Amino acid sequence: MMATDSLDARVDEILKSLGRRTTAPRRQVARLLASKRGAFSAESINAELPEVGRATVYRTIRLLAEAGVLCKALLPDGSPRYSIDHSWHHHHLICSSCETVEEFRSSELERLLGELSDEIPGQVLGHQVDFYLTCPNCLQ
């Protein structure tokens, strides 16, 4: 009951960010996304929602990524993985073997990048740094 309430609240919040009429299929997509923990592909969401049209799934995910609700990371082959963006600044650790995406935060990295900004001509407005690696699970 509590969990459902907070899930509903998150779904509402996600849909509100679209600023468009809420349709039942969109709500289904938003509900599934709100329940996700890690990163996912649009295709996996599509596979989990056979009753929702593929175009609707992809369009909703794209709109949510543009709205900043979803954060997008690219696998080495360029295919996107999405995750709920909690709006704290982070980087990604992307495993090229199992394709999992973890968030990575480091004050040391931010400090280094901040110092580097002084050497970059013009005014740096932000940065995007993702790491491609073999994750500990895959190393075992």
DSSP state of 71: E
Rounded to a whole number of angstroms, the minimum distance from the CB of residue 128 to Zn ion is 8
For residue 95, state whether it binds Zn ion (rule: CB under 5 A): yes
Strand, coil or helix: 17: helix
Residue 95 token pair: 């495993």
Residue 134 has what DSSP assignment?
A: -
Q: Pick the closer one to Zn ion by CB: 52 or 73.
A: 73
Q: Which is nearer to Zn ion, 58 or 104 (CB)?
A: 104
Please choose, from the candidates 77, 95, 89, the residue with its C-alpha nearest in 3D space to the C-alpha of residue 133.
95
- The residue within the footprint of Zn ion, chosen from 71, 82, 84, 94 (CB under 5 A), is 71
Which of residues 2, 98, 107, 115 is near Zn ion by CB under 5 A? 98
Told to check if 133 binds Zn ion by CB under 5 A, we report: no
69: its two tokens:
């609700």
Least separation, in Å, of the C-beta of 67 and Zn ion?
15
Report H helices in the chain.
2-18, 24-34, 42-48, 54-66, 107-117, 136-139
Select 24 or 98, whichever has its Cβ closest to Zn ion: 98
135 binds Zn ion (CB under 5 A): yes
On the 0-12 / 13-18 / 19+ scale of CB atoms within 10 A, 49 is middle
Residue 108: CB minimum distance to Zn ion, A: 11
Binding positions for Zn ion, rule: CB under 5 A: 71, 95, 97-98, 135, 138
